[in-house]
Amino acid sequence: MRKASLATLALIAGLGLSAPALAQHEGHVMAKPAIDPALAAAVADKSRETDKLRDKYRRPDETLAFFQVAPTMKVGEYAPGGGWYSRLLGLYLGPKGKLVGLYFDPTSGAFNEKSQAGIRAGAAKFPADVAGWSGQPADRFAGYTLDAVPEGEKGSFDRILIMRMMHNLMRWNIADSEIKKMRDMLKPDGMIGIEQHRARADAPYAFTDGSKGYLREADVIKFMEVNGFTFVGKSEANANPKDPANWPGGVWTLPPAMDGAKDDAEKAKMQAIGESDRMTLLFRKRP
């Protein structure tokens, strides 16, 4: 999968979107948003005792506030994975809103038979999982694979969140199809929030094709604009200037994975740097 041909990203890279292109978006940095008290309460919930250890890297309160997620909204979380954000979103949206786990289209060609079955199983058990984590009724949650979204769900989502997953969509060659499906699910004024490991603006294509986990901010912005979105703005909530974003082993060199760390001294070095430098971008569905 890491060696897949990435025609779309190659086209974007070929446009020369490096430092000059990034500079044109610098004015889109938005002020730190006010935090909804209900969100603050969810972040502080005692059930998040373990998850809170990563709050200093992920800043979920500022991130969700920047994405303008409100407690009454219908929100899709794309590729929920281990559930770190699902647990928090369940607490925040469960009482008055709706959280939907949106899973890869298993038929996209990126997954073998075993992976396809796992994706469908994950979507099926998502409501029960989040209900168990949040203490909210399971009917406050839903889970769909993108090839099996009920027709009535299209055009009904206020927000869709894509957290540190764009690099996989790029390297698996499914970014175009998955983003198009998500666009169809949004309301006319709906928005997509993206958090993604950020490469340096002048990083070569070989490092920003998704295989290292890092993407260039300008490339992601252009990709979303090409696929029917208007760039609303960005936040530096998840920036980490200590990350040089040039690890030969990719983003997995840093916490929490710390792949390749041979001893405690190397692990301590990585811990001192912290998790990756990340872009935090907001896009609105374009008519």
For position 7, what pLDDT does the model report?
Answer: 43
**In contact, 227 and 180? CB cutoff 8 Å:** yes
For position 23, what pLDDT does the model report?
Answer: 40
What pLDDT, in 10s, does the model give residues 170-200? 999 999 999 999 999 999 999 999 999 999 9
What pLDDT, in 10s, does the model give residues 65-91? 999 999 999 999 999 999 999 999 999
* 169: Cβ contacts below 8 Å, ≥ 6 apart: 175, 178, 179, 210
pTM: 0.90
**In contact, 101 and 145? CB cutoff 8 Å:** no
For the chain, which residues make up each domain, given as ranges? Answer: 7-246+278-285
All residue ranges of the chain with pLDDT < 70 are 1-27
- The CATH superfamily holding the domain 7-246+278-285 is Vaccinia Virus protein VP39 (3.40.50.150)
Cis omega (within 30 of 0) for bond into 33: no
**What is the rounded distance in angstroms from the CA atom of residue 19 to the CA atom of residue 213?**
20
For position 30, what pLDDT does the model report?
Answer: 84
For position 24, what pLDDT does the model report?
Answer: 40
**What is the rounded distance in angstroms from the CA atom of residue 224 to the CA atom of residue 115?**
27
For position 140, what pLDDT does the model report?
Answer: 97
For position 29, what pLDDT does the model report?
Answer: 87
